[in-house]
Amino acid sequence: MLAQQRQSAILDLIRQSGGVRVSQLVSRFGVSDMTIRRDLEVLAERGLVDKVHGGATLAGPGSADEPGFAAKSIRQQAEKRAIARRAATLVEPGMAVALSAGTTTAALARLLAEVRGLTVVTNSIPVADALYQEPRPDQTVVLTGGIRTPSDALTGPVAESAIASLNVDLLFLGVHGMSPRTGFTTPNLLEAGVNRCLVGSARRLVVLADHTKWETIGIATIAPLEAADILVTDSGLPADARAAIGEQVGELVVVDAD
């Protein structure tokens, strides 16, 4: 098989599955590791794929591209539910917790509706809505003001000022992407500022991120990986990624999807 034919076949595989590993391609095409890496380099230079640790994924949108809440809510639903269930076990009655904007944190909010004496601080309209559906008289929900983003987050100086005066036991942070080099990232500059304030307000940081967030990079860094006391992800995260993350976060928790 000619190099161009092999590269075309590799691109078809990536388009079908969203990503491939070098070892998988070596086995499939019967060529060396170096040959596959050169093929991926060619495809990356043409802007067709993104090289990641140990493989490649289909080239994604720019680092400032931000899908809306509705679009994100239909992705990796089983994984997000599993992550949310595990995160909910960390919450005890009487705690003050913060939830950032995001579809996984919104899933968590629905599970927290029955926790006694809980105070929830959030800049997320869907998170607040989930807790307002059947409000408990012994729960307090603090929704910041601010400028609304495509992710239905409230951002800007109003939100940052509200959060700066608060102290919470746990922050559950949803992220757009994570990598060893860039840490936890977001495609929205305003949202990054609010999330940094949320991190500063919390005694412990719990990051909720499904496996698709690995090596996805947004324009703004919220915090380095080592800032996370706990990272909850799903079993779709590759072994090499688990090893890289495990060296930096306080605790890596991996859950199985439904």
What pTM was computed for the model?
Answer: 0.74
CA separation, residue 258 to residues 69, 82, 97, 143, 161 (Å): 22, 7, 26, 31, 39
Q: Where are the domains of the chain?
A: 3-60, 70-255
pLDDT beyond 80 at 215: yes
What architecture is the 3-60 domain classified under in CATH? Orthogonal Bundle (1.10)
The contacts of residue 236 (CB under 8 Å, 6+ apart) are 79, 210, 211, 212, 257
For the chain, what is the mean pLDDT? 89
What architecture is the 70-255 domain classified under in CATH? 3-Layer(aba) Sandwich (3.40)
pLDDT given at position 70: 57
Supply 58's token pair: 């289909």
| Cα gap 186→199, rounded to integer Å | 14
Residues in the chain: 258
- Identify the band that residue 2 occupies on the pLDDT scale cut at 50, 70 and 90: confident
| Cα gap 114→139, rounded to integer Å | 9
- Identify the band that residue 43 occupies on the pLDDT scale cut at 50, 70 and 90: confident
> Percent of the chain having pLDDT more than 90?
64
CA separation, residue 189 to residues 63, 67, 123 (Å): 11, 14, 15
pLDDT beyond 90 at 194: yes
